[in-house]
Amino acid sequence: MAKKVLVTEDSPIVLNVHSTLLKSAGYDVTEAENNLIALEKALAEDFDLIVLDINTPKMDGYTFCKEIRAQPKYKDVPIMAITTESDPEDKVRGLEAGADLFLVKPVKTEDFIEHANKLLGV
């Protein structure tokens, strides 16, 4: 059974790219256009990995990480944050909020899949 990945991204193009890459690597992907919708989906289903954008409307990625980490079923689920925020303070804030990995856009295709595989133990 394929590992389930939740991808949240407010840019339709980037969302499509991330989803397509993960699907081509054999993952079952669910999409959300912002972190509030992603939180709703995460509470309704179980995911093995969450890939999120820090800057989305309605709920930022830092808040999403804190909310999802407060859920017992997501205490140990890996979270990959991908953002345009490149300040070292943003990375610290993301990791403190609960992200396991904090990447700055653009992320190379091979690096993106490699990181996902590592986080999933594949």
Over residues 40-94, the pLDDT tens digits come to 999 999 999 999 999 999 999 999 999 999 999 999 999 999 999 889 999 999 9
pTM: 0.95
Mean pLDDT of 91-119: 94
DSSP-derived letter for residue 53 is: E
C-alpha 90/C-alpha 5 separation (Å) is 24
Strand order in the sheet with 49-53: 28-32, 4-8, 49-53, 79-83, 101-104
Question: Percent of the chain at pLDDT above 90?
Answer: 91
Residue 82's contacts (CB-CB under 8 Å, 6 or more residues apart) are: 9, 18, 51, 52, 53, 54, 103, 104, 105, 107
